[in-house]
Amino acid sequence: MIPFLDLKKINEPYEAALQEKLKTVLNNGWYILGKEVETFEKSFAEYCDFKYCIGVGNGFDALVLIFKGYIELGKLKKGDEVIVPANTYIASILAILQADLVPVLIEPKLETYNINPDLIQEKITSKTKAILAVHLYGQLAEMQKINEIAEKHDLIVVEDAAQSHGIEKNLKSKICNLKSAIAYSFYPGKNLGCLGDGGAITTNDEALAKVLFSLRNYGSEKKYHNEFVGVNSRLDELQAGFLNLKLPNLDSDNEKRRAIAKRYLSEIKNDKIILPFWDFSKNHVFHLFVIRTENRAHLQEYLAQKNIQTVIHYPIPPHQQKAFSQWNNLSFPITEKIHKEVLSLPISPVLTESEVDYIIEIINKF
């Protein structure tokens, strides 16, 4: 069986170093917000070419804390509307709600699966105060257009980069205005993944960073002095140590993903399969390689019989989830079409050439 994602194989080359890192952390005797977190925050900020990186418990917390940080700064208030793509993973929407803000769902472009900037304008009201741009599956959203809209209407731009580590490299001017913030997840299956939960926020906004450093730690900058109503969401010292080992290889790992994607795009030739759009620039890190087909169940079963594991990202759109019963009667045709047809093929730095050969061969025979 070709697994969809072989985390054991991905982490095998690091085994000795991971064990050594564990010893280092144990011997330091400082297990919360220690040297490893400090080193990772500095290294990841430099990698992303941002002034500040705030390590937090997970990617969901990263988003929630950004919104709560803006609320503390008086730039957002409870009940403000946040525009968000309708087809995103549910965590993006839950984070808005967790911060007592109101999600406004916008259809994506069918070609890129990212939010359609041309539809944002018509949804802006006097209550609209922010846009949450999601770089879904690892592809950069149309940030230039989004930032132009945000600037015109004085909106905050927050970015969900949980699936797009490394995409900002050499593209910062296209990604964000310098007062915004970007949320990352280091869930084990991400392009930069730890061995548990982890997350981070990058920003150039000094005031926001100062608030975030406090909010993640009970609202406290100085021990036992609590300026804000904060939470406990700190990047784990051990997980930070693991990330410090992996970060230097992120670019090369992303290039391996792009190389596989290029093969899929050039060699998969089946009129039943719709391949993802990519302009072959650095604007995609292929966290996922997502195809579409009207015969998804049949294709997935066929591939499983041929020992190729696939995953559906995601089978149920947010507005049709039981948790959001207030939205169940809404219609988002493009989003619904995407969720009915998408299927993710194996793609990772450890997928071999022969495995790619086989996957392409089998799909072409479908």
Count the helices and strands in the chain (H runs, E runs): 13, 11
Is the whole model's pTM more than 0.85, yes or no?
Answer: yes
**CA proximity to 339, closest of 303, 292, 297, 295:** 292
Give the CATH number of the domain where residue 189 resides: 3.40.640.10
Residue where a domain stops, chosen among 205, 232, 247: 247
Residue where a domain stops, chosen among 212, 247, 282: 247
Which helix (DSSP H) or strand (DSSP E) does residue 182 occupy? strand 181-185
Using DSSP's 3-state secondary structure scheme, residue 320 falls into: helix
- Kindly state whether residues 241 and 269 are assigned to the same domain: no
Indicate whether 348 belongs to any domain: yes
The mean pLDDT of 266-280, rounded to a whole number, is 97
- Kindly state whether residues 189 and 146 are assigned to the same domain: yes
- Kindly state whether residues 211 and 356 are assigned to the same domain: no
Residue where a domain stops, chosen among 247, 262, 289: 247
- Kindly state whether residues 60 and 136 are assigned to the same domain: yes
Model confidence band, residue 222 (pLDDT cutoffs 50, 70, 90): confident
Q: How many domains does the chain have?
A: 2
Taking the C-alpha atoms of residue 42 and residue 207, their distance in angstroms, rounded to an integer, is 18
The mean pLDDT of 88-105, rounded to a whole number, is 98
- Kindly state whether residues 262 and 228 are assigned to the same domain: no
Indicate whether 1 belongs to any domain: no
pLDDT exceeds cutoff 90 at 107: yes
- Kindly state whether residues 119 and 204 are assigned to the same domain: yes
Indicate whether 101 belongs to any domain: yes
- Kindly state whether residues 280 and 191 are assigned to the same domain: no
Give the CATH number of the domain where residue 295 resides: 3.90.1150.10
Taking the C-alpha atoms of residue 82 and residue 66, their distance in angstroms, rounded to an integer, is 13
pLDDT in tens, 181-221: 999 999 999 999 999 999 999 999 999 999 999 999 999 98
Q: Which domain holds residue 337?
A: 249-364
Give the model's pLDDT for residue 180. 85
